[in-house]
Every structure is written in structure tokens, then in C-alpha cells.
């Protein structure tokens, strides 16, 4: 009997530990966002000054005929000396009008626009970039290199605001704020806009304070010539995370990477779940490569860089392992429910009340970093965690209200069995929400998908959709599935009048 009791309590302790892993991303998020206000005092602006180096802009392009012309025109209107600006469009064997559009622009802007065509394409963005970088490095003219995507649009002052940081010789690269800029937004692009607010002007400000940047924005990264040469004179081609690997390699060699929140770049983002899934699956699989490749960096403080800092590592892994944490925490709660139901209730409330408070904090502070986007998407900010997740939070905050008073309004009284079943459903909801997100992608292509897919996302939450994609990346990594570069379809929906 004593051994049985000891065994049960051992299981209780194990389940408690599993359940409390759910606090890790909550604490990590809270700490990261708590650091953001310090950006007003700990930043790079003290070493920045007006600096206008000769900038070569390299633009990889495959079948970008619908957007490349407008992008070039906007670049030529930048608040930057035209004599210090050259645009190199690397055409990756396009089969549409891309090369013709670029040739037309080269005639219109002689000495500023150049076409570099690859006869053999399809090898991916990194190979396309390297073709252009090799040609650019042959000439001593270039002092800084801007890597951008064909569809993004730089606001007039963006480049000037980025180059000022290169006045500090310790800075190797600068990244801009990629903002969702579609002029006809749908529910998904609004969620993406909110995500970008939280992940860029918010959390990347914190990374500036911590001294380590996780990733240069793929469509807005500015490198000094010296840094480009130091990392090998080319972009990594061995993974789908060439921008993240470039960011890490820059910092590992002792150069700083700076995020400039006031340099804004507008981008067109996927309007359908399938497009988003392919894009983020590519990112997630790239992050898996980065996590493995730099396994000797994590949680190993260094005098050369801050990538080994505890806080940076906690932030990285709490995001990359979030789906695992969600499942493990739910397993722990379910175990506690069967072993010590009252204890399980206490742990559940601790987890969800902490999550609710952290979310409110993140929501308020993150929204303040880009009030313009936040005002336009206030409804999607409130619904970001998902309707059912919000109900679960309310249940943790006000159990009598949600489990007694609310059912009573409908003449329902929950007996002990019904309450147990409902509690079990609540505890398993977090991993089930990823199933809802997966179903949203499946039903999107059906006749009812137009309304059913958004409904499932609103119920499960946009965060659960991202977690489902990351979970899919685990599966594909374990299966050894081919890592492919799936190009995101762009048709020129960016609103060019946003300032």
C-alpha cells in the first residue's frame, strides 16, 4: 500500500512537471516584452549618423512580371542619392515578362538598373542571390549590399534610416520592419499583420536590447561589403533558412546586427491558408536546420557575440518547441486530472491565468509599437488567441461564472460526470486546436471553405495555425522529406500609398 502511494505521488510529480512546462513560453514572452521599453535607452542610435554609402540592391526574381516594375520605380524614388544606388535584378530564368520589364526599366534608368539573367533556374532563392552577388563583388563600386524581394516596397526614407547604422564599423548588417501592406486585406492578412507587429517592431526591439538578432528580414537586409566578404561572399545554399544563417554567421564573427524599426517595407502576404502553410513550413524547416547547426552555440555565453545568452536561447526554443510544449503540458494536466483532480484544477488555473495576463501585457505593449496597424486590425488583435482559447482563459479566471452561472442561463446544471468530461475537453483543447487549424487548410479548397476555413481559424486561433505548421515541420524532418523552395504567389496587391 505504501509503495502504491509512493508510486502515485511519483506520477503526480511527473505530471506536474509536464504540466508546468506550459509556463516556459509564457515566462519567455513576458520577459522579452518587458525588455522592450529599455530600447528607448539601450539602442544603437548613439553610434548612428547620416551615412550614404554606395548601395547595390540585389533582387532575385522568378516570374515577377506583375510586381517588379512597380518595385523598381519605387526604389528610384527613395530619398537617397541616385548616384549611390544601383539595382541588380537577377532573373532566375523567368518564363513570363520579368526580363522584358526589367530591360524597359534599365532603359528608363540608365546606370541605375541592371538585368542579370540566369539561363538555368529553379535552384532556389539563395542560388539566385549568389549569382548576383558574385557579379556585384567583381566591381569595387559597391560599399553596401541590400538584399530584397521583388514584390516588397520600401517607403522613401527606409534605406537612409538603415544605412545610418553602418556608420559604426562594428555593425555588419541592418534589417528593416517588414509590414503587411496589402490594400485589400482579408481575415488572414490581418492576422499576419498583427503577427508581424508582435514579432518585429516589438520582439526585435527586445533583441536589440539583448544584443542578439534572430533573423534579418529576408526581403530587407543590408550588409556592409566587409561583412559580406567575411561570411564567404555568398549566401548559404544548404538550407531553407539562408537569411537566419547569414544573421548568425555575421554575429558569430563579432559584427553587430541591428533592427531598425523606423525603416518600413511593405510586403504582400498570403491570403490563403495553403499559401501561408507552404511559406511558414519552409521557414520552420529552415529553423530546424539552424537549431541543429548551431547546437554548440545555444546557452553558451561568449565575449564575441550574444547568441549564446540564456534569454536569447529561451526565446528561440520556446517558439521552436511551442507545439511540443503545448502537447506535453496537456498530457501533464490530463494525468493530474485522473490522479489528483483538485490539484489539476489549481495547476490549470495557474497556467491559464498566467497565459491570460501575459497575453494582455504582450497585446498592449506590442500594439503600441505600431499603432497604425493595430488600429486597423483591433478586432483581429482581440481574436488572435482564438475564441475557444479566450473562453478557456475566462474559465480559469472565473470558474463559477463559466461552469455554473453561464450553463444556468440555458437551464443546464453540470453534474459530476458532465463536469469531469468538460474539464477533460478543456485540458486537451490546446493540442486539439492544432487539429482545427489543420482542418481549416483541408476545407479551404472545398465549396464551403470560403466561410468554414476562417471560422475554424477564428475558433482555434492564429497562433494554433502557426503551431500546426511547425508541428508539420517536425513530421517532415523526422520523415526526411525533401526540403523544397515553394515560391509564394505575388500579384501586386501592396498598397503603394501607405506612408
Is 14 among the domain residues? Answer: no
Number of domains making up the chain? 2
Is 23 among the domain residues? Answer: no
Cell digits for 74? 519605387
Mean pLDDT of 290-310: 93
Q: Starting at the edge strand that comes first in sequence, how are the strands of the sheet with 256-267 ordered? A: 113-118, 85-92, 55-61, 144-148, 220-224, 171-180, 256-267, 153-154
Read off the pLDDT band of 55 (50, 70, 90): very high
Mean pLDDT score of the chain, rounded to an integer? 89
Q: Where are the alpha helices (DSSP H) in 259-340?
A: 273-293, 310-320, 322-339
- For cell 539573367, the residue is 117
User: In 110-170, at which residue ranges do the beta strands (DSSP E only) sit?
Assistant: 113-118, 144-148, 153-154
Is 6 among the domain residues? Answer: no
Identify the pLDDT of residue 490: 52
Cα–Cα dist 367/484, whole Å: 34
Q: For the CA atoms of the chain, what is the radius of gyration?
A: 25
Mean pLDDT of 29-36: 92
Closest CA to 196 of 387, 378, 431, 369: 369
The last residue of one of the domains, among 306, 334, 361, is 306
Chain centroid to CA 324: how far? 18
Q: What is the CATH number of the domain that holds 285?
A: 3.90.550.10
Closest CA to 224 of 320, 292, 144: 144
Cα–Cα dist 86/238, whole Å: 28
pLDDT in tens, 330-388: 999 999 988 887 888 899 999 999 999 998 898 888 888 888 888 888 888 889 999 99
Using alpha carbons only, what angle is made at residue 490 by residues 268 and 277, rounded to the nearest 5 degrees?
80
pLDDT in tens, 89-140: 998 888 888 888 999 999 999 999 999 988 776 677 888 899 999 999 999 9
Closest CA to 286 of 242, 220, 237: 242
Cα–Cα dist 230/176, whole Å: 22
What is this structure's pTM?
0.91
Residue 254 sits in the same domain as residue 389: no
Residue 187 sits in the same domain as residue 132: yes
Closest CA to 328 of 391, 203, 336, 306: 336
Give the orientation angle of helix 310-320 with respect to helix 203-210, to 10 degrees.
150
Residue 90 sits in the same domain as residue 165: yes
**Structural domain of 379:** 318-479
The last residue of one of the domains, among 306, 328, 353, is 306
Is 152 among the domain residues? Answer: yes
Strand partners, 452: none
Strand partners, 217: none
Identify the pLDDT of residue 119: 77
Residue 361 sits in the same domain as residue 297: no
Read off the pLDDT band of 493 (50, 70, 90): low
Using alpha carbons, list the distances in angstroms from residue 173 to 107, 250, 326.
31, 8, 35
pLDDT in tens, 409-468: 777 777 888 888 888 999 999 999 999 999 999 999 999 999 999 999 999 999 999 999
- For cell 483541408, the residue is 442
Residue 353 sits in the same domain as residue 398: yes
Give the count of beta carbons closer than 10 Å to the beta carbon of residue 82.
12
The last residue of one of the domains, among 306, 332, 356, is 306
Residue 289 sits in the same domain as residue 140: yes
Coil vs helix vs strand at 58: strand
- Given a contact cutoff of 8 angstroms between Cβ atoms, the answer to whether 248 and 289 are in contact is no
Amino acid at each position: 500500500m505504501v509503495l502504491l502511494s509512493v508510486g502515485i505521488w511519483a506520477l503526480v510529480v511527473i505530471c506536474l512537471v509536464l504540466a508546468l512546462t506550459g509556463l516556459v513560453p509564457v515566462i519567455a514572452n513576458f520577459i522579452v516584452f518587458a525588455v522592450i521599453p529599455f530600447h528607448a535607452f539601450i539602442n544603437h542610435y548613439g553610434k548612428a549618423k547620416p551615412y550614404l554609402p554606395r548601395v547595390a540592391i540585389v533582387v532575385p526574381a522568378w516570374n515577377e512580371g506583375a510586381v517588379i516594375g512597380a518595385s523598381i520605380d519605387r526604389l528610384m524614388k527613395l530619398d537617397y542619392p541616385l548616384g549611390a544606388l544601383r539595382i541588380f535584378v537577377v532573373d532566375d530564368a523567368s518564363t513570363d515578362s520579368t526580363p522584358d520589364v526589367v530591360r524597359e526599366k534599365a532603359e528608363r534608368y540608365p546606370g541605375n538598373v541592371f538585368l542579370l539573367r540566369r539561363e538555368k533556374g529553379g535552384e532556389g532563392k539563395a542560388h539566385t542571390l549568389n549569382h548576383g552577388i558574385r557579379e556585384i563583388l567583381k566591381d569595387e563600386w559597391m560599399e553596401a549590399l541590400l538584399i530584397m524581394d521583388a514584390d516588397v516596397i520600401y517607403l522613401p526614407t527606409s534605406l537612409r534610416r538603415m544605412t545610418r547604422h553602418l556608420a559604426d564599423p562594428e555593425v555588419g548588417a541592418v534589417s528593416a520592419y517588414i509590414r503587411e501592406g496589402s490594400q485589400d486585406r482579408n481575415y488572414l492578412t490581418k492576422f499576419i499583420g498583427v503577427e508581424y507587429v508582435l514579432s518585429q517592431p516589438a520582439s526585435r526591439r527586445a533583441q536589440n536590447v539583448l544584443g542578439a538578432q534572430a533573423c534579418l528580414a529576408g526581403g530587407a537586409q543590408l550588409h556592409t561589403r566587409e561583412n559580406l566578404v567575411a561570411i564567404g561572399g555568398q549566401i548559404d545554399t544548404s538550407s531553407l533558412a539562408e537569411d537566419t544563417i547569414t544573421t548568425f554567421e555575421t554575429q558569430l564573427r563579432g559584427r553587430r546586427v541591428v533592427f531598425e524599426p523606423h525603416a518600413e517595407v511593405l510586403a504582400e502576404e498570403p491570403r490563403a491558408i495553403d499559401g501561408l502553410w507552404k511559406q511558414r513550413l519552409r521557414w520552420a524547416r529552415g529553423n530546424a536546420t539552424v537549431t541543429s547547426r548551431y547546437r554548440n552555440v545555444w546557452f553558451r555565453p561568449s565575449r564575441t557575440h550574444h547568441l549564446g545568452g540564456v534569454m536569447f536561447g529561451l526565446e528561440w526554443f520556446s517558439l521552436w518547441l511551442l507545439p511540443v510544449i503545448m502537447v506535453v503540458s496537456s498530457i501533464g494536466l490530463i494525468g493530474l486530472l485522473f490522479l489528483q483532480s483538485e490539484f489539476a484544477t489549481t495547476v490549470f488555473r495557474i497556467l491559464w491565468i498566467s497565459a491570460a495576463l501575459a497575453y494582455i501585457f504582450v497585446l498592449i505593449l506590442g500594439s503600441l509599437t505600431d499603432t497604425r496597424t493595430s488600429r486597423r486590425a483591433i478586432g483581429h488583435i482581440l481574436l488572435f488567441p482564438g475564441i475557444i482559447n479566450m473562453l478557456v482563459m475566462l474559465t480559469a479566471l472565473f470558474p463559477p461564472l463559466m461552469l455554473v452561472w453561464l450553463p444556468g442561463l440555458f437551464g443546464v446544471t453540470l453534474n459530476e460526470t458532465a463536469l469531469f468530461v468538460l474539464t477533460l475537453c478543456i485540458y486537451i483543447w490546446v493540442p486539439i486546436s492544432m487539429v482545427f487549424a489543420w482542418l481549416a487548410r483541408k476545407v479551404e479548397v472545398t465549396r464551403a471553405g470560403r466561410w468554414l476555413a476562417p471560422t475554424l481559424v477564428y475558433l482555434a486561433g492564429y497562433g494554433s495555425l502557426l503551431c500546426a505548421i511547425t508541428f508539420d515541420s517536425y513530421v517532415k524532418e523526422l520523415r526526411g522529406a525533401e526540403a523544397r523552395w515553394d515560391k509564394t504567389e505575388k500579384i501586386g496587391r501592396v498598397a503603394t500609398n501607405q506612408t
